[in-house]
Structure 1
Amino acid sequence: MQLIRANIAHFPHATTQFSEDITIIRDGGVVIDEGKIIAVDSFTDVLARYPKANVIDRQGQWLLPGFIDSHLHYPQTQSIASYGDQLLSWLENYTFPTEKQFADEPHAQQIAQVFLRQLLKNGTTTGFVFCSVHQQSCEALFSAASELNMAIVAGKVCMDRNCPQELEDCPTTAQVHSAALIDKWHNHGRNKYAITPRFAPTSSEAQLASLGELASQYPDVFVQTHLSENLDEIAWVKRLFPTAIGYLDVYDKYNMVRPRAVFGHGIHLNEDEWQRLHEAGSTIAFCPTSNLFLGSGLFDIASAKKHDVHVALATDVGAGTSFSMLKTYADAYKVSQLRHTPISPFEGFYLMTQGAAVAHQMESDIGNLNPGSSADFVVLDHQFDELTSLRIQPNAEFDDVFFALSILGDDRAIRETWVNGRRCYEKKESSHAMV
């Protein structure tokens, strides 16, 4: 049993009143035992209740729930920061060549380890991950995550057209291989599976139908794909699926617009599509760094709120430019500023913790520091260099700390990352002194 002493911030339940419903405890304590949180309160109160707990002193620093990244591509870890054009040329020039390498199982295993280390270094304890078309790429990721008892939602990408031949499967293999992975990995430990057509243009109607059958057979698995990211992409979908009434309708026809369906981007949606996402309880993964990097557009957070659609933040590595969810919120703030609907620090924090967990129906395990949840959390080093030490005062309010670290920080702001009650990452100490 361990008691971590620190300032504490989290959202204990779903809310839209972010500044009112956040729980902030100065000099608090979180007690963990056997991978679970068993108590959270002021330090003096939890110490009195658990006097034999081993105290880990992080006074003055901030302890938060582990961050949730709701859309990213682990095969693209090695292609991040490649000079690109826009979405469709990015796929052709960088994504597909990189993913071909995952036919080699040792390569998949190596990148899976690198990928998870990058998540942990940035305070991310749960990711919604696109693998490659190769079954072993998914096996490699789930195996590596299982060693850490890390909650990962992932799926084998399915494509049977408009991609290199080496990356094609077919309707039958997409269904059979996905089903085998579901049976082996879904709810095995903390792993969860997501049926993963890359996006409508790379799947035939026959393949979408086969994946839709799978979605009906396994109602508690996730669905993840892309939606309305780029105007050229949308026009392409219209040509490929002329009988569909819109992009979202392509997926809806095959039972993939539902709870636990996570659609990346959703930049160019019409009113009917927003309403359908609300009715279905589906989620949009807001990927601001990749939306800016590929010139795709500015996400409309106001329409999401108007229609009460779940939104979660996501890096979308590798078109996304950082594994840091702090930097991701910084870009989300800038995008929302351009749309004159700025996302507050409290709301940004919610969208990468409890808000994401609620959207994904996982709030009983992740996204908060409630007793009974898994002990997935991060400790922030909010004065990690000379500038942050100058900018962020010791008694600063949490929203000011979080906002300043999002604008000025990155992985340097993460002191520790804990997964299932185990410290899996600890930043090496460094001097802030000027040379």
Structure 2
Amino acid sequence: MTKHLLLGRTLGFSGHPLTQDWADAVRYDPAGGVLIAAGKITALGDGAALRAAHPDARLVDYGDKLISAGFVDAHMHYPQTGIIASWGKQLIDWLNTYTFPEEARLADPAYAAAIANRTIDLAVAHGTTTLTSFCTIHPASVDAFFTAAAARDMAVVAGKTCMDRNAPDNLRDTAQAAYDDSAALITRWHGTGRATYAITPRFSPTSTPDQLAALGALWAAHPTCLMQTHLSEQLPEIAWVRDLFPQARDYLDTYEAFGLLGARGIYGHAIHLEPREIARLAEVGAAVVHCPTSNSFIGSGLFDLIGLARAGLTIGLATDTGGGSSFSMLRTMAAAYEIGQLRGVALHPAQLMWLATEGSAQALHMSGQIGHLGLGAAADITVLDLASTPAIAQRSARADDIWDALFPTIMMGDDRAVADVWIAGVRQGIA
């Protein structure tokens, strides 16, 4: 069995830096090592000691580069890759103008496969080793995404997006088709290799009560699946939900009433939450996902990261491509920092890195498996060059500690900062 020993500065976590002192939650070694074999992390610690203990391991010396768990993107839309950074519009207009016409193109399996492979290539180039994606109503779009990920042995989460109203005719299914197509896809993909299926109503405005009930029944029949959707992204959207569901107590209730609230639920955006919604999400152990570049780009609002963390919610971080304006989790961390500043909170680099790795893994119920630089975790690893551009290099050269050296890369870094990527112990050829 071939073993690889990666040497460099290593950064991992042993706690939750949003709910405890960040300094007590980090594991940093300026001369660390990570041993990988059979796709897993089998040892980590002092680099020199590991080198002496494993002389047969193939050595990869990254010098002063930073070895981290790979980034985990907890909410995105791979079908929107081609329309990322489209001008203007808020949510509903943006969907009608850009998203729906592009998603209709994925009825063509060849086009879906091309976009799926392009998305994964772009994500990996930016250091992302797990994607959580909405697909389209077309089952072939789900097959395309899982197939592209399987070719890299990449852990991904995805599902057929279900809509039976308030969408173009060529992007509507029915309650029965949503159930039947999703059930067939679950049988084909859920738990196959590193694939996890997520039952996926786009959001309650595009599903009738009958479809929401059907998907709730499907989730009850397949409780190990995740369930992903959108929640309280924009104020006009919330008003629309109120008109469509006048009997509902709030937006979350439009899911809860149909069996779509649970511990394995993932709710994207969650910006404008009511106190009852916050309490219920915390009570059931559901996850919300912060999508800061998207929230800024589409003008949605300011996510209350610290407030929701203190309320006990599980929180992931995501690009929300293509409403989000970057494939980079570094840029996403920078946007999270900027939104935090607008709310009066300066997030520490340790907290940002945790969100992009351990936090998102927790949201996906994969703690210890992905996004984790620790024993037994998948060897999904991102190596960062903390001097990747002249501007970053001149700033990091003045750093007093690792955090002062890392923060310029978080704020100004892009794919050039990604020196290398490993997925399931296989080097991806980024360097």
Equivalence for 2:48 = 44
Equivalence for 1:166 = 170
- Offset at 1:395? 6.7
Asked if structure 2 preserves the Cα contact closer than 8 Å seen for 1:60 and 1:394, the reply is no
Moved more, 157-166 or 39-48: 39-48
- Offset at 1:13? 4.5
* Partner residue of 2:4 out of 2, 5, 8: 2
Q: TM-score, normalised by structure 2?
A: 0.97
The answer on 1:417 being equivalent to 2:421 is yes
Equivalence for 1:337 = 341
Equivalence for 1:263 = 267
The answer on 1:140 being equivalent to 2:144 is yes
1:154-191 Cα offsets, whole Å, 9 max, x none, are: 00100000000000000001001101111111110100
1:13-32 Cα offsets, whole Å, 9 max, x none, are: 44533221100011111000
* Partner residue of 2:95 out of 91, 98, 117: 91
- Note the 1:236-275 alignment, pairs <5 A: 236-275=240-279
SS where residue 193 of structure 2 aligns? Answer: coil
Q: TM-score, normalised by structure 1?
A: 0.96
Moved more, 341-350 or 281-290: 341-350
SS where residue 426 of structure 1 aligns? Answer: coil
Asked if structure 2 preserves the Cα contact closer than 8 Å seen for 1:129 and 1:154, the reply is yes
The letter of the residue matching 1:263 is Y
- Offset at 1:359? 2.7
The answer on 1:25 being equivalent to 2:18 is no
Asked if structure 1 preserves the Cα contact closer than 8 Å seen for 2:316 and 2:362, the reply is no
1:321 & 1:103 partners in 2: Cα distance?
Answer: 24
Equivalence for 2:107 = 103
1:350 & 1:371 partners in 2: Cα distance?
Answer: 17
The letter of the residue matching 1:161 is R
Equivalence for 2:74 = 70
- Offset at 1:396? 5.0
1:425 & 1:231 partners in 2: Cα distance?
Answer: 44
- Offset at 1:147? 0.8
* 4+ runs deviating over 6 angstroms: none
2:200 & 2:346 partners in 1: Cα distance?
Answer: 32
Equivalent pairs counted in the alignment come to 427
1:330-388 Cα offsets, whole Å, 9 max, x none, are: 11111111111222211111111112222322013111111111100111111112112
C-alpha spacing 1:366/1:13, structure 2 compared with 1 (3 Å):
farther
1:388-421 Cα offsets, whole Å, 9 max, x none, are: 2211128752322332111111111101111000
The answer on 1:403 being equivalent to 2:428 is no
Moved more, 243-252 or 403-412: 403-412
The letter of the residue matching 1:318 is G
1:172 & 1:420 partners in 2: Cα distance?
Answer: 37
Moved more, 370-379 or 380-389: 380-389
Asked if structure 2 preserves the Cα contact closer than 8 Å seen for 1:197 and 1:203, the reply is yes
1:359 & 1:49 partners in 2: Cα distance?
Answer: 36
1:282-331 Cα offsets, whole Å, 9 max, x none, are: 11110011111111111112320231111111110101000111111111
2:424 & 2:370 partners in 1: Cα distance?
Answer: 10
The letter of the residue matching 1:352 is A
1:143 & 1:407 partners in 2: Cα distance?
Answer: 33
Overall identity of the aligned pairs, in %:
43
- Offset at 1:46? 0.9
The answer on 1:53 being equivalent to 2:57 is yes
The letter of the residue matching 1:347 is Q
The letter of the residue matching 1:123 is G
2:321 & 2:240 partners in 1: Cα distance?
Answer: 24
Q: CA RMSD in A?
A: 1.2
1:255 & 1:46 partners in 2: Cα distance?
Answer: 50
